[in-house]
Chains A and B, each alone.
Chain A
């Protein structure tokens, strides 16, 4: 059993900025293209996906 994603967002006390403008709606549809990272002022706190491919412009 090999983990592809582990402990990615399970950060309890220091989760996203509670007032993050990207969280103005918790509509689950947002998960499909959630904008949290776009706004997150603490991007280091949200672990980057391993091996995320940088897309060509």
Chain B
């Protein structure tokens, strides 16, 4: 019997221990005698005699019966997700154009008045038609530029794709990342009919700060129009609305104003708010204005605490760690990004940078040509990394953002920043309190 290297045994109350395993993401509470038996196995190699305890520990991945390499288990789970066939996730930019000129935009060098042609739309539909019998879920995320500038493409593609999904019993869900400026009431109605269920809109502070950072191309203000549109959007049931605050040194002090605005927007539990970390991707912004990882983590924590005080939803749940075997669309076989010109990318951060394109949607064999940029992401394996392979947090992190790891060789930055003991104690307190009610 071997002990998992992803175990965290945390002293709790009255001699009890919290047992958390990062590989399975399970959390248990152990009595003193149970922990002592575990400790004897760990320190002295003494077998656990209590059969029931042994079974329970195996269920949560705390111990293994066979002598296996846990990295192989992680690699196996990672590959299951990476090459799974049940869902297809496509991010589509109907245009590379944008009506905003945000100060930190990482696409500022690739913003162009390019709009998707009907031929490209048709190629996307044909690609999905070819996949539809193999999948159970189809997710399309409308992205840009500003996707609502290319609303005609959204409408035409959505209609066809929804039909295809209905004919083949495939679950379809649309989402959109928009600056919210063109999200008029009429447009909202139409998008809801086109099954766009999730909306991400960015507000960067109070009115003055937001307008300074997220102005129209003409330089005009955008805050009031976005807020007006948001007020209409929150009236719709069944939508998920995420308000993102892109934060850096310039607007860090303004986040309280966003929080107050969001709290006043809706009584419903469908409005979420979070901080996005502004980074100087490919030199798109001033490095010195960006918060470093530690500063961002601290601010994000404080923000979440304030959200809780305001009774904002879902925060308790979201503090619990998540296992990231799948990575993101860059590292899953059935995930990619299509730009308005039909060029395909693996990562959102690379959209429009043609040297990173992995193919063209009009080419039916694009994904069999194994372009270097495609292989780069799909072959990325954090379990092979010397540092990651020894790390107790690997299942929770899987090396972090593949874009950063693959392109910029960013090293690990997780270790001390997941305050796992603190988090687990808090989580256990919440769970036990509620169980007693």
Contact = CB atoms under 8 A, between A and B. Distances in A.
B300 A33 contact: yes
B50 to A, nearest CB: 9
Given A14-B137, A19-B335, A38 B311 contact: no
Contacts, number: 223
A13 B81 CA distance: 5
B25 A16 contact: no
A53 B437 CA distance: 10
Nearest to A51: B434
Interface string A1-23: 11111111110111111111111
Interface stretch (B39-47, B113-121, B250-258, B410-418): B410-418
Interface in B1-30: 19, 24-30
Given A19-B335, A21-B242, A32-B418, A53 B316 contact: yes
Nearest to A22: B242
Given A27-B277, A33-B319, A3 B60 contact: yes
A18 B334 contact: yes
B428 interface: yes
A15 B329 CA distance: 12
B153 interface: no
Contact of B272 (A12, A28, A35): A35
Interface stretch (B208-216, B226-234, B398-406): B398-406
Given A18-B334, A31-B418, A33-B274, A6 B87 contact: no
B380 to A, nearest CB: 12
B324 interface: yes
DSSP class of B's interface residues: helix, strand, loop or mixed?
A: mixed
B332 interface: yes
Contacts of A42: 137, 171, 173
A19 B141 contact: yes
B242 A28 contact: no
Given A1-B57, A15-B326, A26-B402, A32 B34 contact: no
Contacts of A38: 240, 242, 272, 274, 314, 318
Given A32-B301, A41-B175, A48-B317, A18 B28 contact: no
B304 interface: yes
Contacts of B396: 28, 31
A31 B396 CA distance: 9
B28 A14 contact: no
B322 A33 contact: no
DSSP class of A's interface residues: helix, strand, loop or mixed?
A: loop
Interface size, B (range): 35 or more
A48 B311 CA distance: 18
Given A14-B137, A28-B418, A32-B304, A4 B431 contact: yes
Contacts of B34: 1
B318 A1 contact: no
A49 B427 CA distance: 10
A33 B53 CA distance: 33
B402 to A, nearest CB: 7
A55 B324 contact: no
A16 B197 CA distance: 15
B313 A25 contact: no
A7 B200 contact: no
A47 B111 CA distance: 39
Contacts of A27: 277, 293, 400-401
Contacts of A35: 242, 272, 274, 318
Contact of A39 (B56, B242, B267, B435): B242
12 contacts: A5-B25, A9-B25, A12-B77, A18-B329, A26-B324, A27-B277, A29-B293, A29-B296, A33-B274, A39-B200, A41-B197, A55-B308
